[in-house]
A and B are shown apart, each in its own frame.
Chain A
């Protein structure tokens, strides 16, 4: 999906102004910018295409809604490592679609990736992901207040 239309740029700015993901997120993203190319059509076979996503939050959780049209959920991988949420997806060749090979190539046959650096208050044990209607929904519950706090006992010599 095209991330922003010209007419959406203003709204996008407003949405970005209070973006707690932004600092983590953009720093990380720029590291990958050279490898990921947005746009489904113009990329080369080897480099994964960028997955686009909306991010939201409420009191209990952060929500990532990633666009992955026409996928099989078996071919979507979600993982968290060192505070980075990683989404990887692959559209695989299927025999029944052989006659439509040109579509696969055009609408994005191949690999897709996206990584987000997560805020510290995500409870990683309760991350939940579902795929429906071309959208990958990832819910990232926030830690309850106090959960990330731990007192360390000071021992004597």
Chain B
């Protein structure tokens, strides 16, 4: 089965935002993006789909609401991941689920209709 690294095609991620770690795989119905967002509140995740683009943005707060941080290894603040979508993705039917720190975005493909006869008026 193929894993398509769409992320490698996109160089335009701004330096100041941490890049969200994610993978893209192919499913029966299309593509699925799985993004690792451990410790992020669901309310702090935004997902945009517009013409040919999928944008995942998230805000991760400090791990420590109280006390002081003595070592940091996890990304904090604004995080982002952006993909160009193939035209075949059915953007009206994109759905997403957030569970155990993993955001799964399902990107079904449009139903392939064969050549269609067009009536001439």
Contact = CB atoms under 8 A, between A and B. Distances in A.
A86 to B, nearest CB: 17
A57 B23 contact: no
Task: Report whether over half of chain B's contact residues are helix, strand or loop; otherwise say mixed.
Answer: loop
B69 to A, nearest CB: 5
Contacts of A106: 3, 23, 25
Given A1-B21, A70-B102, A56 B38 contact: no
Contacts of B18: 2, 5, 7-8
Q: Max chain B CB contacts within 10 Å: which of A15, A25, A70, A71?
A: A70
Contacts of B62: 54
A122 to B, nearest CB: 14
Given A1-B38, A63-B64, A100-B25, A54 B73 contact: yes
A40 interface: yes
Interface residues of A, number: 45
Central interface residue in B26, B63, B75, by most chain A CB within 10 Å: B63
Interface of A: 1-8, 11-12, 15-16, 18-22, 25, 40-41, 52-58, 61, 63, 65, 67-71, 99-103, 106-107, 133-135
12 contacts: A2-B18, A2-B21, A12-B72, A21-B70, A53-B73, A54-B72, A55-B69, A56-B69, A67-B36, A68-B101, A69-B101, A102-B26
